[in-house]
Amino acid sequence: MKVAALAFAGVTAVSASEVTPIQKVIQLLQGMSAKGKEEKHAEQVQFAAYKQFCEDTSTDKARAIQEAADRIAKLTADINKAEADAKRLAREIASHEADIATFQGDKKAATSVRDLERGDFEKTNVDYSESIDALERAIATLKGKHDGNIAQSLLQVSSLLNTKDQAKLNAFLQQPEANAWEGKSGGVINMLEKLEDKFNDERTALRKAEANSKHAYQMLVQDLDAQVANNQKSVEDKSATKGSRLQAAADAKGNKADTEQTKAEDEKYKQDLDATCSQKASDFESRQQLRADEIVAIEKAVEILSSGAVAGSGEKHLPQLIQKASFIQMSAKTGSLRLHDNQLKALNFLKSQAESLNSRVLMQIASTAGSDPFKKVKKLIQDLIIRLNEEANEEAEHKGWCDTELATNEATRKEKTNKVEELHATKDKLGSQIAKLGEDITDLSNAVAALDKAMAEATTLRNDEKAENTQTIKDGEAGQAATEQAVQVLKEFYAKAGEATALIQQQPESPEIFDSEYKGMQAENGGVVGMLEVIVSDFARLVTDTKAAEESATREYDTFMGDSTQDKAVKNTSIEHKTASKQDKTQELTETEGDLEGNQKELDAALAYFDKLKPSCIDTGVSHEDRVARRQEEIESLQEALKILNGEDA
């Protein structure tokens, strides 16, 4: 902290008339206490803002996820209803087509029967007409009394009659007196006229029956044609409706897939956000407890250093020791630190393994081990082992994710390929679809704007947190250096004082005089030295923890920003896709092939996504097994180094 650095910057130049080092320590501790309380409160305010951001953002995402779930449920119901309608219409169309075939068969059969009836009628009608004509000529012959044999004329007429009429005429001609009974020809003529009348009546009845049969056939054909036309109209109408319902199902499936993707992205974002906020809350509690403990320690130190015995003795005796302190400081500057033997051994082992495995991780830890404190090196190795194990788990999860995504993508590509080949139905209800796409684009645009806002807020919070951590580290390092200097001054002083004369270690019950020359209040100041050494340790821990917290916060922020950036990119891509789809829908008002184009775009998107999966899931350059083996070697090397540091046999 800056107060500590300023308090001890000029210790070696202080004169006897200025404040003593103890007074400077008191000023340092009081400043530290005030600043610690201020920073503790500022941290509470900062965390309250961050907590509110977490709660608001998590609530917004939860609401968006629920809305997406509701929309998916509605789209699923729409899909099921549309497909059920299409199946019902298909059955009805098949029934109509079967009726058409039946009616057309009935018409064909009725036409065949009608053709036979018309043929029989025409043949019989000709026979009747010829017979009547022959009778008329025979009657005319008989009435004209032409010369010749009447019987012979009747035989000629007989050839024109049918079998039944011929039998009647032949029976008449077989009478013995027929050839000589020309005078009775009037009876023959009468018979022929009756026969003619009979033939006329039968021909008239025949023609009437033919007319009735023809009319009945025409009515039947008209009815059958009407039935066929009605069923064909039903087939056309229901086929169009079926195509419309299938198109509606396809559109709903596309919207459902987009909504499911958006929902999955929001769920991942919320999960990462909740995890980050939870970790921040835990870190905040730890930091608050650390600051509270620090303030308690500082206030205790001030209480000890402000006591009359310590402060009064310091004003009286400590100024004369300042020059000695200067010497001690110069001696400290010329000193050097040596690495612990085990630490040096572990360092050499890590460097060797780093070169052997060509591992940047081991090389980095080897470089750090040469300058870090012994305990911190061990903790750093342990943390790195944990991180490598976490990376192994993350890579295993990533491989599982890749396998799932590749399988899903392959199924999607196959499905969309089949759709491109199969879908030919004309899209209907484009107005409502365009409006729906507009709503989706608006929702996605609002979501992107919310992401931009969340990322900006997170960046502001991260920058504030980083600035605070940087200042905390700077203050901690300055305070640690100043306190170590104060401890060194006191230790050197008491060491020199001990060489001059022994101090009285116990306090008498009621001292009236000093048993020996007064050289300082070692017992009281020894307590201060112990307290200051604790403060040194606390400063070191504060710096270490703050650095670790800063690194963790940086990783969490990078993860959050990475996920948010990816989420934003996906949503922007979705906006572009939906905008393109909306334009396609508008164009499809005059074009009937829009659906094929839309499905082709979805297939291209699946292929493009497959290309995106290749770099991280297929074409990684190094096999998953090689990476796992290499990481395991790094972990084993770190574990071996940790054993060396612990003094265990390698």
Which span out of 208-217, 288-297, 325-334 was modeled with the highest average pLDDT? 208-217
- Is 367 part of a structural domain of the chain? yes
Q: Tell me what pLDDT residue 331 has.
A: 35
pLDDT band at 30 (very low <50, low <70, confident <90, very high): confident
Percentage of the residues of the chain whose pLDDT score is greater than 90: 25
Percentage of the residues of the chain whose pLDDT score is greater than 70: 68
Least confident of 95-99, 541-545, 637-641: 637-641
Q: Tell me what pLDDT residue 7 has.
A: 36
pLDDT of 102-132, one tens digit each? 999 999 999 999 999 999 999 999 998 988 8
Q: Tell me what pLDDT residue 627 has.
A: 73
Q: Tell me what pLDDT residue 118 has.
A: 94
Q: Tell me what pLDDT residue 12 has.
A: 39
Least confident of 317-326, 367-376, 424-433: 317-326
The continuous run of DSSP H or E covering 375 comes out as helix 374-422
**312 or 274: whose pLDDT is higher?**
274
Distances (CA, A) of 39 to 28, 103, 116, 265, 532: 16, 94, 114, 37, 22
The amino acid sitting at 31 is G
- Is 391 part of a structural domain of the chain? yes
- Is 477 part of a structural domain of the chain? no
**464 or 176: whose pLDDT is higher?**
464
**209 or 489: whose pLDDT is higher?**
209
* Number of other residues whose CB lies within 10 A of the CB of residue 155: 14
Q: Tell me what pLDDT residue 429 has.
A: 67
- Is 618 part of a structural domain of the chain? yes
**CA–CA separation, 289 vs 400, rounded Å?**
40
- For range 136-156, the mean pLDDT: 66
pLDDT higher than threshold 50 for residue 556 = yes
**CA–CA separation, 172 vs 178, rounded Å?**
8
pLDDT of 393-445, one tens digit each? 877 777 788 878 888 888 888 887 887 676 656 656 667 778 888 888 998 99
- For range 252-267, the mean pLDDT: 93
Q: Tell me what pLDDT residue 308 has.
A: 60
Least confident of 86-100, 170-184, 570-584: 170-184
Q: What domain range includes position 411?
A: 338-425+589-650
C-beta contacts of 258-263 below 8 A and 24+ residues apart? 258/440, 258/574, 258/577, 258/578, 259/68, 259/71, 259/72, 259/75, 260/68, 260/72, 261/570, 261/574, 262/68, 262/444, 262/447, 262/571, 262/574, 263/65, 263/68, 263/69, 263/72
pLDDT band at 148 (very low <50, low <70, confident <90, very high): very low
**CA–CA separation, 35 vs 46, rounded Å?**
16
pLDDT of 471-499, one tens digit each? 888 887 877 787 777 777 767 755 665 55
Is residue 266 within 8 Å of residue 63, measured between CB atoms? no
- For range 606-622, the mean pLDDT: 74
Mean pLDDT of the chain: 75
For 373, left (φ over 0), alpha (ψ -120 to 50), or beta?
Answer: beta
- Is 604 part of a structural domain of the chain? yes
Q: Tell me what pLDDT residue 322 has.
A: 37
DSSP state of 502: P
Q: Tell me what pLDDT residue 53 has.
A: 85
- For range 306-329, the mean pLDDT: 45
pLDDT higher than threshold 60 for residue 521 = no
Q: What is the 3-class SS of 517-568, one letter each residue?
A: CCCCCHHHHHHHHHHHHHHHHHHHHHHHHHHHHHHHHHHHHHHHHHHHHHHH
**CA–CA separation, 476 vs 35, rounded Å?**
12
Q: Tell me what pLDDT residue 115 has.
A: 94
- Is 157 part of a structural domain of the chain? no
pLDDT higher than threshold 80 for residue 459 = yes
**CA–CA separation, 129 vs 206, rounded Å?**
11
pLDDT higher than threshold 90 for residue 239 = yes
The amino acid sitting at 255 is N
**384 or 176: whose pLDDT is higher?**
384
C-beta contacts of 123-132 below 8 A and 24+ residues apart? 124/206, 125/203, 125/206, 125/207, 125/210, 127/162, 128/199, 128/202, 128/203, 128/206, 129/203, 130/160, 131/160, 131/161, 131/162, 131/165, 131/199, 132/196, 132/199, 132/200, 132/203
- For range 542-559, the mean pLDDT: 89
- For range 580-589, the mean pLDDT: 75
pLDDT higher than threshold 90 for residue 519 = no
- Chain-centroid distance of CA 109 in Å reads 63
* Number of other residues whose CB lies within 10 A of the CB of residue 142: 20
Q: Tell me what pLDDT residue 252 has.
A: 93
> What's the whole-model pTM score?
0.38
Q: Which two tokens stand for residue 30?
A: 């009081």
- Is 575 part of a structural domain of the chain? no
- For range 320-345, the mean pLDDT: 42
pLDDT higher than threshold 80 for residue 318 = no
- Is 441 part of a structural domain of the chain? no
Using DSSP's 3-state secondary structure scheme, residue 444 falls into helix
Q: Tell me what pLDDT residue 251 has.
A: 94
pLDDT higher than threshold 70 for residue 376 = no
- For range 39-45, the mean pLDDT: 82
pLDDT higher than threshold 60 for residue 603 = yes
